[in-house]
Amino acid sequence: MDIILEKLREIVHKSHVSDTKYLTFAYSQNVDPILEGIPDYVAIPKSAQEISEILKLANEKNIPVYPRGGGCCEFGGSKPIGDGGIVLDLKQMDKIINLDEDHLIVTVESGISWAQLDEYLSPFGLYTGCMGPGSGMTASIGGGISHHSVGGGGGAKYGACTKQLISLEVVLPTGEIINTGSQANRFSKIPFGRFGNGPDLSGLFCGDNGILGIKTKVSLQVFPRPKFVECKTFQLKGNTARSAAKIMIEIRRRGIDVYDAMYIPDIVVSVFKSEKVILPWIENKIRRGLFFYTIEAYSQEELNEKVKQLDQIFEENKAKILGPEISDGNIARWHYKEQGHWQLYHPLWGLTPTSEPCTTECFVPIQQFPSLLEAIEQWEYEHTPEMDKIFEVTKVRPIVGSGPILLLGENSVEVTCGFTTYPHKDIREINLSLWKSMIDLVTKMGAQWYMMGDICSREFVEIGAFTPEYYSLLTNMKRILDPKNILSRGKFKLLEVEK
Partner 1 sequence: MSKLSEYWDAVYSCMGCGDCGYAIHSAIGKFKSCPIKEVHESPFEVYFARGKMRLAKGILDGRLPLSKELAEIIYQCTECGACHDTCHQTHNPNINLFVTRWIDHVEVWEALRQDLVKEGFAPLDQHARILKSMNDQSRLNPYERELSEKKEAISNLSGFVAEGTSEIGFFAGCTQSLMYSETLQKLGKIIEKSGIKVCKLPNEYCCGSIALRIGDMETATHLMEQNIKYFQDLGIKRIITACAGCYRTLKKDYPKYSDKELPEIINITEFLEELIENQKIQFNSSEPISVTYHDPCHLGRHMEIYDPPRNVIKAVPGVSLIEMKRNRNNAWCCGAGGGLKSQFPEMAVDIAKDRISEAIETQSSLLVTSCPFCERNLTDAISQDAEIKVIDIIDFIYSRI
Binding region for partner 1 (CB under 8 A): 15-16, 18, 20-23, 25-31, 42, 44, 70-72, 89, 91-92, 113, 115-116, 118-119, 122, 135, 137-138, 275-280, 326-327, 334, 337-340, 342-343, 346-347, 349-351, 353-354, 356, 422-423, 425
Distances (CA, A) of 136 to 27, 339, 342: 19, 10, 6
Residue 113 CB, nearest distance to partner 1 (Å)? 5
- Measured between alpha carbons, how far is 419 from 401 in angstroms, rounded to an integer? 7
Distances (CA, A) of 466 to 9, 205, 368, 431, 469: 41, 18, 20, 25, 8
Residue 186 CB, nearest distance to partner 1 (Å)? 34
State residue 341 phi and psi, 5-degree precision: -60, -20
Q: Tell which residue, 434, 425, 355, has the closest CA to residue 388.
A: 434
Q: Counting Cβ atoms within 10 Å, is residue 186 exposed (0-12), middle (13-18) or buried (19+)?
A: exposed
Residues 6+ apart with CB under 8 A from 128: 106, 114, 117, 118, 121, 154, 161, 164, 220, 222, 223
- Measured between alpha carbons, how far is 12 from 375 in angstroms, rounded to an integer? 50
Residue 350 CB, nearest distance to partner 1 (Å)? 3
Strand partners, 358: 419
Residue 486 CB, nearest distance to partner 1 (Å)? 22
Nearest to partner 1 of 17, 442 (CB atom): 17
Residue 170 CB, nearest distance to partner 1 (Å)? 23
Residue 337 CB, nearest distance to partner 1 (Å)? 7
Residue 352 CB, nearest distance to partner 1 (Å)? 8
- Measured between alpha carbons, how far is 179 from 170 in angstroms, rounded to an integer? 6
Nearest to partner 1 of 77, 181 (CB atom): 77
The greatest distance separating any two alpha carbons of the chain, rounded to the nearest whole angstrom, comes to 72
Q: Tell which residue, 81, 102, 225, 90, has the closest CA to residue 145.
A: 90
Nearest to partner 1 of 36, 302 (CB atom): 36
Nearest to partner 1 of 298, 349 (CB atom): 349
Degrees (nearest 5) of the Cα angle 499, 1, 172?
40
Residue 135 CB, nearest distance to partner 1 (Å)? 6
Nearest to partner 1 of 125, 199 (CB atom): 125
Nearest to partner 1 of 27, 449 (CB atom): 27
- Measured between alpha carbons, how far is 358 from 420 in angstroms, rounded to an integer? 6
- Measured between alpha carbons, how far is 297 from 226 in angstroms, rounded to an integer? 5
Residue 326 CB, nearest distance to partner 1 (Å)? 5
Nearest to partner 1 of 333, 484 (CB atom): 333
Q: Tell which residue, 40, 45, 120, 133, has the closest CA to residue 79.
A: 40
Nearest to partner 1 of 255, 353 (CB atom): 353
Nearest to partner 1 of 123, 385 (CB atom): 123
